[in-house]
Amino acid sequence: MSTQKPIKKAVFPVAGLGTRFLPATKAVPKEMLTVLDRPVIQYAVDEARNAGIEHFVFVTGRNKGVIEDHFDIQYELQKTLEERGKNELIEILDASQLDAGQASFTRQQSPLGLGHAVWCARDIIGDDPFALFLPDMVMQDSVGCMSRMVDLYSKTGGNIIATEEVAWEETHKYGVIEKGAEVDGGFEVTGMVEKPAPGTAPSNLFINGRYILQPEIFKILENQETGAGGEVQLTDAMISLAKQQDFFGFTFTGRTFDCGSIEGFIMANVAYSLWREDMADNLRPEIERLLREIKPGC
């Protein structure tokens, strides 16, 4: 059993511009676009809460204030619902809010990449290990990906990376790990490479947007040179940290939807609608009809 500190803090980088969704994201942050009746960011926060996270650190950018408002109490709305006896809606709102002091917000002034965004949270995280969520990646499973990672961490300590299988011909699009020996329901990570050249990937397991990291990553990120795209790459910093600390991998077997892309966002909406008992029976025949009748361009 590991004696390391428990994972009680999580970082959510939400400073991106969401240019692939323009004009929808001109005034609305991409993290606030909804998959059914919840914004994308809510799925990541709920996954974190279910994993035992108690402090939520949002790394924001300009025009992201609505994210802070979403997790706050809206007194006028609350009062109106109370006066109208809308108790079910009040319960829904209560479930989406964070308690006083649970949320912290810090600003990433320049778009210098994921590694830089993580580094911006250093003073709030301090000397504690932390979870990192890429909110664009919405994960559907009966047990949350981070809950499974925290369980693995309790046995191994160190750093944990969630991975997922991808077709070998697609590996050049992702950060990919090299898989070592099996360990306590996970495996040792013996190497990492960011977007390997076609045919050179050490495995077909890509890093899918969930991490547990030790605080020593901040010192590495502070001095990390820019990498691909002129940005500070988190994978490069993890490769450096792996020379000092153990890394373990966990293979997520649920469904992951990249809601940073229009296609992934649409698929998430379809998948979650078919997962809901109150919607699936009505939607399934309509989706099947659309597949039969609608041709591209029509």
Reported as a single tens digit per residue, the pLDDT across 166-186 is 999 999 888 899 999 999 889
Instruction: Please give the span between the terminal C-alpha atoms of the chain, in angstroms, as a whole number.
Output: 59
Task: Output the CA torsion sign for 169, 205, 163, 206.
Answer: negative
Range of the domain at 156: 9-261
Q: Mean pLDDT over residues 183-193, rounded?
A: 90
The CATH number of residue 58's host domain is 3.90.550.10
- pTM recorded for the entire structure: 0.91
Q: Kindly state whether residue 30 falls inside one of the protein's structural domains.
A: yes
Q: Kindly state whether residue 284 falls inside one of the protein's structural domains.
A: no
Q: Which residues contact 53 (CB under 8 A, 6 or more apart)?
A: 7, 8, 9, 10, 131, 146
DSSP secondary structure letters along 154-175:
HHH-SEEEEEEE--GGGGGGSE
pLDDT digits (tens, 9 = 90+) for 227-250: 766 777 898 899 999 999 999 999
Q: Kindly state whether residue 234 falls inside one of the protein's structural domains.
A: yes
Number of domains in the chain: 1
| pLDDT for 61 | 87
Q: Mean pLDDT over residues 76-96, rounded?
A: 87
Q: Kindly state whether residue 273 falls inside one of the protein's structural domains.
A: no
With cut-offs at 50, 70 and 90, classify the pLDDT of residue 36: very high
Angle, helices 75-83/87-96, rounded to nearest 10 degrees: 160
Instruction: Identify which has the larger pLDDT, 245 or 72.
Output: 245
Q: Kindly state whether residue 291 falls inside one of the protein's structural domains.
A: no
pLDDT digits (tens, 9 = 90+) for 92-130: 888 888 888 899 999 998 878 899 999 999 999 999 999
Distances (CA, A) of 27 to 23, 30, 96, 123, 157: 8, 9, 22, 29, 41
| pLDDT for 298 | 58
